[in-house]
């Protein structure tokens, strides 16, 4: 992180992070993270953090330290290009009118918010139990380079937080940490990799690291469920497969008929996990339909093919198996909740009937994002209201499909009241 101003060309920065670990069993780790500090409390905390770091590494008295009095979720800190710490650097640049001066700069809130919007924590419920407070250390190039090397070798292992700093964290943020420590950004990315590998999605860690560090060129990974994910800038392209396509032509084509429900549920769960995680860390998912991408191809070729492929817009996909005649009005929508106990609702199969109970159309509605389920429900309610059609929801608590034809089917009979909330 270098400064481009020629007058300050020998300034450089590095980042240390105060890691606040909460007890996952306590309500505070599942609710909204604590509000940021006002300026007096932020300044007091900053002085203690500066003292901790000065006790670990020499020469910090010749550097500047800048931080916000706020705790952030790791998804806010570990984003492509580290925009949060870049924003801190930008604020520091604004203080350089009289030249570089060592010291401590603490940013506090006014009426609960920071004047710089990029520094305001999202404070989303459930962001714990790991909350982060990053600070930038700025100084002359050689000194910062040496400090960076030393911190990468020792900060995570020896970065003890003083009792005074711990007390300021407890009092200022109103939390009871089970552990406090210091780490570098590289340490945190490495810990994220361990988390993802333990969750069985090592390929996702490869994808995120490439994006977070903004490494040059595209990055292609093949997931544990044989899904191709292709990072192209801040966008991840990936082919989406409906149950029918997956079972007949995709990764499920080798499975036996009675294995398809569990197989597609695992595929869908992984697709959702990748999508939600990528979005949380600042990358967007671009699902493709009908794209035949060969994982053996080089990433540049895959990017060209993916950009030319048809992307799915919106929160859900409608797969039309039988199209309706516009001349015959719909009088009944029979909606089958295609459900798997490990994943939840995978799709809604919609069968439209006329006055005499004849099938007019057959469709499968697939959510592409978490909001897609509610969008599908709202769309079906509007559709039946607009045409004066009745609705009948069937909840068989399983995937209803033909093991020989390898395709989803509507339920012939099932409870009309869901046993669980999806």
Averaged pLDDT, 111-137: 92
Same domain as 231, residue 306? yes
The answer to whether position 116 is within a domain reads: yes
Same domain as 60, residue 14? yes
Share of the chain above pLDDT 70, in %: 96
In what helix (H) or strand (E) does residue 287 lie, and over which residues does it extend? strand 284-289
Q: Among residues 186, 145, 165, 185, which one has the least CA distance to residue 17?
A: 185
The answer to whether position 418 is within a domain reads: no
The answer to whether position 419 is within a domain reads: no
Between strands 130-140 and 11-21, the pairing is antiparallel
Per the structure, the complete domain to which residue 280 belongs is given by 214-311
Same domain as 170, residue 45? yes
The total of structural domains in the chain comes to 3
* Residue where a domain stops, chosen among 165, 195, 225: 195
What's the pLDDT score for residue 197?
95
Asked, as a colleague might, if the bond just before 129 is cis with ω within 30 of 0, I would say: yes
What are the strands, taking DSSP E only, across 165-283? Answer: 179-183, 219-222, 228-232, 235-239
SS3 content of the chain, % helix, strand, coil (to 5): 40, 25, 35
Same domain as 304, residue 189? no
Cα angle for residues 50, 53, 56 (degrees, 5° grid): 150
The answer to whether position 206 is within a domain reads: no
Q: How far, in whole angstroms, is CA 1 from its chain's centroid?
A: 25
Share of the chain above pLDDT 90, in %: 82
Averaged pLDDT, 91-113: 88
The answer to whether position 180 is within a domain reads: yes
Same domain as 180, residue 101? yes
Same domain as 151, residue 11? yes
Using one digit for the tens of pLDDT, what is the confidence trace for 181-228?
999 999 999 999 999 999 999 999 999 999 999 999 999 999 999 999
Same domain as 350, residue 293? no
Same domain as 164, residue 45? yes
Same domain as 51, residue 110? yes
Averaged pLDDT, 89-111: 89
More confident residue, 99 or 104: 104
Same domain as 166, residue 37? yes
Same domain as 274, residue 236? yes
pLDDT at 8 over 80: no
Same domain as 188, residue 58? yes
């Amino acid at each position: 992180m270098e400064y481009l101003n020629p007058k300050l060309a020998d300034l450089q920065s590095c980042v240390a992070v105060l890691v606040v670990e909460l007890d996952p069993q306590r309500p505070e780790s599942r609710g909204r993270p604590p509000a940021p500090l006002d300026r007096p409390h932020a300044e007091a905390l900053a002085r203690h953090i500066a003292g901790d770091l000065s006790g670990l590494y020499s020469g910090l008295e010749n550097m500047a330290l800048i931080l916000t009095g706020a705790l952030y979720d790791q998804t806010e800190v570990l984003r492509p290009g580290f925009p949060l710490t870049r924003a801190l650097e930008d604020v520091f640049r604004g203080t350089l009118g009289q030249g570089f001066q060592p010291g401590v700069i603490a940013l506090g809130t006014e009426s609960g918010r920071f004047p710089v919007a990029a520094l305001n924590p999202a404070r989303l419920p459930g962001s714990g139990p790991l909350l982060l407070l990053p600070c930038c250390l700025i100084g002359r190039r050689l000194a910062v380079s040496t400090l960076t090397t030393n911190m990468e070798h020792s900060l995570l292992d020896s970065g003890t937080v003083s009792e005074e700093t711990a007390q300021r964290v407890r009092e200022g943020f109103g939390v009871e940490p089970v552990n406090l420590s210091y780490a570098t950004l590289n340490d945190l990315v490495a810990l994220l990799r361990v988390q993802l590998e333990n969750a069985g999605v090592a390929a996702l860690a490869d994808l995120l690291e490439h994006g977070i560090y903004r490494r040059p060129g595209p990055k292609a990974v093949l997931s544990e469920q044989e899904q191709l994910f292709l990072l192209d800038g801040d966008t991840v392209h990936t082919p989406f497969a409906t149950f029918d396509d997956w079972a007949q032509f995709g990764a499920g084509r080798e499975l036996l008929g009675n294995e398809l429900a569990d197989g597609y549920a695992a595929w869908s769960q992984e697709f959702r996990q990748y999508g939600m995680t990528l979005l949380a860390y600042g990358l967007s998912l671009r699902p493709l339909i009908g794209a035949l991408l060969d994982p053996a191809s080089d990433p540049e070729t895959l990017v060209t093919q993916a950009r030319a492929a048809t992307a799915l817009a919106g929160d859900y996909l409608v797969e039309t198996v039988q199209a309706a005649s516009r001349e015959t009005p719909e009088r009944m929508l029979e909606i089958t909740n295609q459900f798997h106990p490990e994943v939840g609702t995978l799709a809604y199969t919609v069968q439209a009937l006329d006055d005499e109970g004849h099938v007019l159309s057959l469709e499968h509605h697939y959510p592409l994002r978490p909001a897609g389920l509610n969008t599908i429900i709202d769309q079906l309610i509007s559709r039946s209201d607009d045409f004066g059609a009745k609705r009948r929801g069937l909840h068989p608590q399983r995937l209803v499909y033909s093991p020989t034809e390898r395709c989803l089917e509507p339920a012939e009979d099932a409870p009309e009241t869901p046993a669980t909330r999806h």
